[in-house]
Structure 1
Amino acid sequence: MSYAKQSQTLNISAEQQYQGLLERVFFSMLVGMPCCVFLFINAIMLFTLRSKAVFRETSRYILLYNLLFADTLMLGLSQFLYILAVSRIFPTYPVCGVLIMLNRLANEISPLTLVVMCLERYVAVCYPLRHATIITVRYTAVAIIVVWAFSSLSVLIRVILLLKFPFGQLQSLQMPELCSDISMLLGPLSDLYDKAYTGFVFVSAGVTVTCTYIGVMVAARSASTDKASARKARNTLLLHLIQLGLTLLSTMHGPIIVSLSTVLQRLLIVRIKSVLYVFIYILPRCLSSLIYGLRDQAIRPILMYHLCCRLKLPQRPHKL
């Protein structure tokens, strides 16, 4: 009798492990496929923006290239970290620290670049006669350098706070948990700085983008403004505001999961975490390609040409 119960228990355990494996494969495909697709699209977009001189010499497209580069870097690093988590691979603290800090650098560059892009659209609509003298390639390069320097300084401060943790008292540098941004908050100061910096950046960025959107709406009502250009800039700024909001949600991903873990089961938390990862990590990094790749008349034909592997569609003969 005991042998039958033991055999039944083993069968149930094996079935649960098989279902867990199938579920892990399903969620890995659910996350991995869109990530790989948009990584490919972003890579084509980056190649497209370097393929023509007009893209390399226009401030708007230079800023777009910087935004896409940061988004692609973060998307690739996030997917690599997700693969480590699914594979249950626990790296050492130094390796995890390098990956997380690079991920944070790319994550902090995106909202700041969005702010600069919104300001560029604001100047183009509200001050069209002075746009060529205010928004130059040189000033755009300076703005990008400032964005990278400010983000790098923030990451440097995080590294300094991280080094204050007593790693010498640990028996091993091998991490006992999965590598994530939460696992690298190893002290109250790191947690406090992370919340303060995130709040400051996104409040200031949100206010700036909102003000530029309102400014463009006001300018669109004036008789001297190009209505079509103002309407297109207004829609672009609105999409950037949505993109900024989704990026803000990505910074709240960790606290949301921690809060839900206190009331929900672990298996349900894993499912919710995978779904949230797709919508608040992957989706915001793909909006730039969709916003400009599909709406910009200069980029769209070249992007479609490269996406179709440089195949020219046959043209129908015109009827006489």
Structure 2
Amino acid sequence: MCFSKGSHKCLANMSYTPQSQTNITAELQYRGILEIVLFSAPVTVPCCVFLFINGTMLFTLRSKTVFRETSRYILLYNLLFADTAQMALSQLLYLLAACRVKLTYPVCGVLSMLAVLTNDISPLTLVLMSLERYVAVCYPLRHATIITIRNTGVAIIVVWAFSSLNVLIRVLLLVDFPFEDLVGLQMKDFCSTIAMLLGPVSAQYDRAYTCFLFLSAGVAVSSSYTGVMLAARSASTDKALASKTRNTLLLHLVQLGLSLSSTIYNPLVIAISKILDRISMWRIQNILYVCIILFPRCLSSLIYGIRDQTIRPILTYYICCRLKLSTKVLT
């Protein structure tokens, strides 16, 4: 209670209390935003750099007729497009989780299925690129008749259709989930592809399909590499082409392995979270996210942009010109 002697002080304290609570709330909000920025910046900056490189590479592959009319460059464009879309979707889901934004199941389902679709395109396209190099070395006289623009387009359509079938099966498995038993469609956890495995059947199917996809892709790329190695011993084979193709197929195997490593990201994060504090967990999670999720999606651009003698000068020209333009705009 306020007595008459100290009533003016009491009234002052009463009038000051809401203001102090407002200041405390604003300070907490500021700390929350600052924490999000500090933890998200080390991830967002590399992602923007990778997206810039991939975007420049995609533009490069559409800038010249030789790229638009050569099968291996068309396949490379499809690979880069899928990797870039996957990188953008992954970063979007990451930022939503960092900002503590919880989506509804339908919205998260759409984003997750798009991420699954683009994630499947990469290993399947690597198989096509490996087979194209195998035909170039082992059947050089028939390469022009087998690897045509039309056949390449049909192969890409088959890849997207097969990946879309996988997404359709996942959606059908979600239909059996008893959504009517939920209090609402608002998710209790952050959106991710793992969060949309809502039943044991969906989880089992995801593991089985992932094993089948990468085992099949690994066998196909390894078989292509073995075939090229055997063909390189033949006297009629172009030794320089065989050696270059062998190195390319080895890189395809590395890319496939890096794509497979993304499947262990979530289990690894869950295991680490049980033994570390929240701050240390965030730091390690950011490093793993950049190394396992983002960097492999940019690896194709770095490999082909540096190794390919046709792409390298054009890619360097576009990157340098854009960097100079950005510098002029900033100054």
Same-fold call, TM > 0.5? Answer: yes
Q: In the alignment, which residue of structure 1 is the partner of 2:227? A: 215
Q: State the one-letter code of the partner of 1:73.
A: A
Q: CA deviation at 1:166?
A: 1.3
User: Matched residues in 2 for 1:31 and 1:48: separation?
Assistant: 26
Q: Deviations over 1:179-223 (max 9, x none)?
A: 111111110011000000000000111111111112212222322
Q: In the alignment, which residue of structure 1 is the partner of 2:201? A: 189
User: Matched residues in 2 for 1:304 and 1:128: separation?
Assistant: 31
Q: Deviations over 1:267-286 (max 9, x none)?
A: 43332221111111111111
User: Matched residues in 1 for 2:52 and 2:276: separation?
Assistant: 36
Q: In the alignment, which residue of structure 2 is the partner of 1:147? A: 159
User: Matched residues in 2 for 1:27 and 1:242: separation?
Assistant: 29
Q: State the one-letter code of the partner of 2:225.
A: Y
User: Superposed, which structure 2 residues align to 1:1-320 within 5 Å?
Assistant: 24-309=36-321
User: Matched residues in 2 for 1:185 and 1:274: separation?
Assistant: 23
SS of structure 2 residue aligned to 1:214? helix
Q: Deviations over 1:142-194 (max 9, x none)?
A: 11011000000000111111121111221121111111111111100110000
User: Matched residues in 2 for 1:237 and 1:20: separation?
Assistant: 47
Q: Which deviates the most, 231-240 or 140-149?
A: 231-240
User: Matched residues in 2 for 1:28 and 1:74: separation?
Assistant: 18
RMSD: 2.2
User: In 2, are the aligned partners of 1:92 and 1:175 still within 8 Å (CA)?
Assistant: yes
User: In 2, are the aligned partners of 1:93 and 1:175 still within 8 Å (CA)?
Assistant: yes
User: Matched residues in 2 for 1:105 and 1:182: separation?
Assistant: 14
Q: CA deviation at 1:18?
A: 8.6
User: Matched residues in 1 for 2:317 and 2:305: separation?
Assistant: 12
User: In 2, are the aligned partners of 1:236 and 1:291 still within 8 Å (CA)?
Assistant: no
Q: In the alignment, which residue of structure 2 is the partner of 1:317? A: none
Q: Deviations over 1:40-96 (max 9, x none)?
A: 111111111111111111110110010011001001111111110111111111111
Larger Rg: 2
Q: CA deviation at 1:310?
A: 7.0
Q: With structure 1 as the length reference, what TM-score do the two structures score? A: 0.88
SS of structure 1 residue aligned to 2:321? coil
Q: Which runs of 5+ in 1 are unaligned?
A: 1-14, 313-320
User: Matched residues in 1 for 2:228 and 2:249: separation?
Assistant: 9
Percent identical among aligned pairs is: 69
User: Matched residues in 2 for 1:51 and 1:271: separation?
Assistant: 40
Q: CA deviation at 1:264?
A: 3.6
Q: Relative to 1, partners in 2 of residues 1:103 and 1:17: Cα closer, same or farther, differing over 3 Å? A: same
Q: Which deviates the most, 175-184 or 24-33?
A: 24-33
User: In 1, are the aligned partners of 2:90 and 2:115 still within 8 Å (CA)?
Assistant: yes
Q: Relative to 1, partners in 2 of residues 1:272 and 1:16: Cα closer, same or farther, differing over 3 Å? A: farther
Q: Relative to 1, partners in 2 of residues 1:279 and 1:222: Cα closer, same or farther, differing over 3 Å? A: same
Q: State the one-letter code of the partner of 2:128.
A: V
Q: Which runs of 5+ in 2 are unaligned?
A: 1-26, 325-331
